[in-house]
Amino acid sequence: MSINPMEIGTTVARYLTAHPGEADHLKPLTEALANGADLISRDQANGGHVTCGAVVIDDTRRLLLIQHKALRRWLLPGGHLEPEDDTLPYAALRELEEETGISWHGAVSPPGHDITPVDIDVHTIPANPSKGEPEHWHADFRWAFWVKEPRIALQAEEVDGYAWLPRDKAPTVKLAAKLAAL
């Protein structure tokens, strides 16, 4: 079984119940869901799609960021949905293991964040002419995970480096505020 629009819609509804003030920020996502858009496919006809990221906190309460080659930015581990992904949290764990080598076996969700992401961020991805991709948006479902003594083995094709940083250095102020409460 793979991820379906109902799972995405249910997850967004749970998230907005916990964070009602973010409805405007999620408008591209909620409008696309209401219009029946295929948010699982990387096809750009809908203007955007869902991705999943891992918000990884180590046992010293630091946040893991990776240097993404294509975007040349420090980001959370994460990426596009794949047909074999059974759930949104699984997609985040798969991406975590692919990009950093951190096994999903040692990643634990903080209480209350196993079925609801800690953050959903809608952001613009610039055009990539080499891949034939126009500018589009990603709705990144960010799942929190605690890890103890992680060993990093980077995926050289997509990642240039990694850093463990204070949680207030999260990619967005909104996420940093949520991490302060974890």
Q: Which residue has the tokens 């975007």?
A: 71
Cα–Cα separations (whole angstroms), residue 171 to 66, 89, 104, 126: 11, 19, 22, 17
Residue 128's domain spans which residues?
5-180
Closest CA to 164 of 97, 51, 53, 76: 76
Contacts of 5 (CB under 8 A, 6+ apart): 33, 36, 38, 39, 40
- pLDDT at res. 181: 86
**Between 3 and 44, where is the model more confident?**
3
Kindly tell me if the per-residue pLDDT of 114 is higher than 60: yes
- Measure the CA–CA gap between 70 and 100, rounded to whole angstroms: 16
CA 164 distance to own-chain centroid: 17
Cα–Cα separations (whole angstroms), residue 157 to 17, 49, 62, 68, 73: 38, 22, 25, 10, 15
Contact 127, 134 (CB under 8 A): yes
- Measure the CA–CA gap between 145 and 108, rounded to whole angstroms: 5
Q: Which residue has the tokens 């794949």?
A: 82
Domain total in the chain? 1
DSSP state of 133: B
Cα–Cα separations (whole angstroms), residue 5 to 25, 52, 106, 122: 19, 14, 29, 17
- pLDDT at res. 158: 81
Question: Which CATH number goes with the domain that contains 160?
Answer: 3.90.79.10
Kindly tell me if the per-residue pLDDT of 1 is higher than 60: no
- Quick check: pTM over 0.75? yes
Across 116-122, average pLDDT? 97
Helices (H) and strands (E) counted in the chain, each on its own, are 4, 7
- pLDDT at res. 13: 98
The per-residue pLDDT for range 54-108, each reduced to its tens digit, is 999 999 999 999 998 777 889 999 999 999 999 999 999 999 999 999 998 989 9
- pLDDT at res. 44: 65
